[in-house]
Amino acid sequence: MVNRRKEDLKYLLIFIVVVVAINLFSSFFFTRLDFTKEKRFTLSPITKDVLARLKGELQITVYLDGDLPGGFKRLQSSTRDMLTDLKAYSNGKLHFDFVNPGRGSEEQQQKVYEELVNLGIEPTNLNVKTESGLTQKLIFPAALVTYNGRQMPVKLFQSRVGATPGEAEEILNNSVQDLEYAFTSAIKKAAEEGKPRVGFTEGHNELTDLQLYDAMQSLADGYEAGRMDLSKVTFAGLDKLNLLIIPKPDKAFTEAEKYKIDYFVMRGGRILWAIDNVNAELDSLQGHGGQQMTFVKNLNLDDMLFRYGVRVNYNLIADMNCAQIPISVGNVGGQAQIQMVPWVFYPIFMPISTHPLVRNLNPIRSEFASTVDTIAVPGISKQVILSSSPYSQKMQAPGMISLQMVERNLDPAAFKGVPMPVGVLLEGNFPSVFNNRAVPDGIRESVKLPAKSQFAKMVVIGDGDILKNQISSKDNSPFPLGFDRYTQQQYGNKNLLLNIVDYLTDDSGIIELRNKEVKLRLLDKARARDEKLFWQVLNIGLPILLLVIFGFVQHFYRKRKYVM
C-alpha cells in the first residue's frame, strides 16, 4: 500500500509540473485553433498587422444591445465574437463594450439618437412581431471606434434595397461576413496620423459642391476631401494628393491639365473617372417639350484614356432594369396628376462581380450611362466591376430621345442581349501619354515624366451621375448619395464610392477581407417540424439512458473488483 501511495504521489507531482509548464509556455506563446471549414474565427494576417501596430488604447462601443429580434441577436453574438478575437491580438490595447441606446426616458433616448446620427451612425427601423401585432423598433446596428480622440463609425448591418422577408437571413449572413473588413478598415483609418487626401476636380463644369455634398461628407471621417483646380494646382500639390476624382466634367481639359494628370499617374497616383461622354439630362427633356437631341461631349480625354487602356463610348444604355421617374399624366381640379414610370435611360446596375469593390453591394442607380470598352495595354490588368443587365441595348449618339418612350410597351425580346460593361478597374504600370511628346504650353515647372508609371490604379465609370446626390426642391437641401427622393429607395452608390476610395488609396489589401465567406447553414424547417417529437425524445432520453448504463457498468465493475 505504501509503494502504491508513493506511485500515486509521483504521478500527481508529474501532472502538476506538466500543467505549470504548459501555463508558463502559453504565457509566452499565443495561438488559437479554428476547426470551422471556412475558418470563420481566423483573423487574416492583414488584420493582425493592423492590431500589432496600435500604439495607444483603442475603444470600440457597439450600439447593438437590448431587446433585439432573433436575427440581430445573431449579428450581436457574431460582433462580440469578432471583437473578442480582435482584442486577443491587440496586446491588450483594444477594449470594447455594448451599449443600449434605447435605454432611459424618451427624452434621453432622443438625445442619444441625435448624437449618434451626428456621428454618422444611421438607425434601422424594424417591424417586430408582438402578441398585439406588429410594432416598430428603432435600433442602431453600428459601432464607434475611438483612438487618440479620433472617431470612426462602423456600419454592422448591410441593408439591401427591395429585400424580401425571405432574404433577411442572407442579408444578415453578408453582414456577418463583412465584420472583419468593417472593423479592420475603421481601426486602420482611426490609427493613421494623417488622413489620405482626396481631390474632386473643378473648372470643367463638373458636379457642383451641392451635388457632391454627401459624397464629400461621407469621405470626411477617414479622408481630407475637397475641390481641386488642375489649372492652378502645382506639381508639389499633386505630390500630396492620394486620389483624384473627376466627377462628370462638361468642358474640355487643356493639354496642360492632362499633363498634370499624367504626372500624377506616373508617380503611382490613383484616379476615379466618372465620365459622361454624351450630353443628356432629364431636366432638358422636361423643359423642351419632352424631346432632346443627344450629342457627344468634347472632353479631350479620349487619347489619354485610350493610352491607359480604356474607352468611354459615345452611346447611351437603355436597360429594362431601371429606375422610375415622375411623369405628369393629366390635370384634375387644377392639380397635376403625377405617375411614376420606368425610364430605361436610368439603368440600375446589379453588382454581380465577385471583386471586393462591389461584392454584396446594393444595386447602383445611374442616369444616362455609357458603355466602357477595355483596350489591350501591356502591363495593365482590367476587371469589369459594373455591367448592365442582360435586357439592355445601346443607343448611339447623336440621337433623339423623348419622354413619349415611357408610353410604349417595351418588348423584352428586343432588349435581350448580353450585359455591357459600365465600370472597369485598371491596375498596373501605365504608359505615359506624353512620352516622346513636347511639354504643352502652360507648364512652367520643369518635371520629367518616365515612359511608364509606378504601380497605379484607376476606376473608370461611364456615368458621372453615380456620384451625384439628389437635391430637395423644397429647401434646396441635399439627400444622401444613392437615395431616390421619388421612390424613397436607398441604392448602393455611397458604399460603392467608399469601397472605391478605400481600394484605390490603400495598398495593404484590407478590402480583400470582403472575400471572406461564411456559409449559411440553416435548419430544414419542414423536416424539423415533422421530426420534432423524435429529436425531443432523443435529446431528453438519450442522456438519461447513458447515465443509467454508465451506473450499471460502474456498479458491476466495482463489484467484480472488490468482492474478491
DSSP string, 89-144: TTTT-EEEEE--TT-S-HHHHHHHHHHHHHTT---EEEEEEETTEEEEEEE--EEE
pLDDT band for position 463 (cuts 50, 70, 90): very high
Residue 151 pLDDT greater than 60, yes or no = yes
pLDDT band for position 257 (cuts 50, 70, 90): very high
pLDDT at 215: 94
445 in the same domain as 431? yes
Q: Which three cell numbers stand for residue 226?
A: 475637397
pLDDT band for position 61 (cuts 50, 70, 90): very high
Cβ partners under 8 Å of residue 258, min gap 6: 300, 301, 304, 433, 434, 440
239 in the same domain as 182? no
Provide the 8-state DSSP code for 55: -
In a domain, 508, yes or no: no
Q: Smallest Cα–Cα separation from 378: which of 438, 451, 459, 441?
A: 451
pLDDT band for position 4 (cuts 50, 70, 90): low
| Distance from C-alpha of 278 to C-alpha of 296, rounded to nearest angstrom | 4
Contact 353, 383 (CB under 8 A): yes
**Of 132, 158, 189, which closes a domain?**
189
Q: Smallest Cα–Cα separation from 462: which of 398, 388, 403?
A: 388
pLDDT band for position 399 (cuts 50, 70, 90): confident
Domain, as residue range, for 20: 1-30
**Of 491, 509, 540, which closes a domain?**
491
315 in the same domain as 176? no
In a domain, 220, yes or no: yes
| Distance from C-alpha of 48 to C-alpha of 30, rounded to nearest angstrom | 13
pLDDT at 523: 65
Residue 207 pLDDT greater than 90, yes or no = yes
| Distance from C-alpha of 34 to C-alpha of 516, rounded to nearest angstrom | 15
201 in the same domain as 177? no
Q: What is the dihedral of CA 429, 434, 436, 440, to 10 degrees?
A: -160
pLDDT at 115: 82
Burial class (CB in 10 A: 0-12, 13-18, 19+), 52: exposed
Residue 519 pLDDT greater than 70, yes or no = no
Identify each DSSP E strand in 239-363 by its residue range.
Answer: 243-247, 270-274, 278-279, 291-296, 310-312, 315-319, 322-332, 335-349
| Distance from C-alpha of 76 to C-alpha of 401, rounded to nearest angstrom | 50
140 in the same domain as 266? no
Judged by phi (left if over 0) then psi (alpha if -120 to 50, else beta), residue 62 lies in beta
In a domain, 70, yes or no: yes
For the chain, what is the domain count?
Answer: 4
Question: Model confidence over 410-460: pLDDT tens digits?
Answer: 777 778 888 999 999 999 999 999 998 889 988 888 888 999 999 999 999
pLDDT band for position 159 (cuts 50, 70, 90): low
Q: Which three cell numbers stand for residue 141?
A: 446596428
Our measurement of the distance from residue 416's CA atom to the centroid of its chain's CA atoms, rounded to an integer in Å, reads 30
pLDDT at 303: 95
Amino acid at 355: H
272 in the same domain as 123? no
Amino acid at 410: L
In a domain, 406, yes or no: no
pLDDT at 481: 92
Q: What is the dihedral of CA 288, 293, 297, 298, to 10 degrees?
A: -110
pLDDT at 431: 96
pLDDT at 535: 84
pLDDT at 33: 66
Q: What is the mean pLDDT of the chain?
A: 85
| Distance from C-alpha of 139 to C-alpha of 48, rounded to nearest angstrom | 30
Lowest-confidence region among 65-69, 223-227, 250-254, 322-326: 65-69
Arithmetic mean of pLDDT, 488-495? 90
Q: Which three cell numbers stand for residue 528?
A: 424539423
| Distance from C-alpha of 467 to C-alpha of 218, rounded to nearest angstrom | 11
* Three-class secondary structure of residue 199 per DSSP: strand
Question: Model confidence over 96-145: pLDDT tens digits?
Answer: 999 888 777 778 878 888 888 777 777 777 665 655 556 667 788 889 99
**Cα 67–73–75 angle (5° rounding)?**
135
According to DSSP H, which parts of 123-246 are helical?
168-177, 179-191, 213-219, 235-239
pLDDT band for position 206 (cuts 50, 70, 90): very high
CA 278, 283, 285, 288 torsion-angle sign: negative
461 in the same domain as 447? yes
In a domain, 63, yes or no: yes
pLDDT at 346: 94
Contact 391, 320 (CB under 8 A): yes
Q: Which residue has the higher pLDDT, 177 or 408?
A: 177
Question: Model confidence over 353-388: pLDDT tens digits?
Answer: 888 889 878 899 999 999 999 999 999 999 999 999
Percent of the chain with pLDDT over 90: 38
Q: Which residue has the higher pLDDT, 5 or 292?
A: 292
**Of 189, 210, 244, which closes a domain?**
189
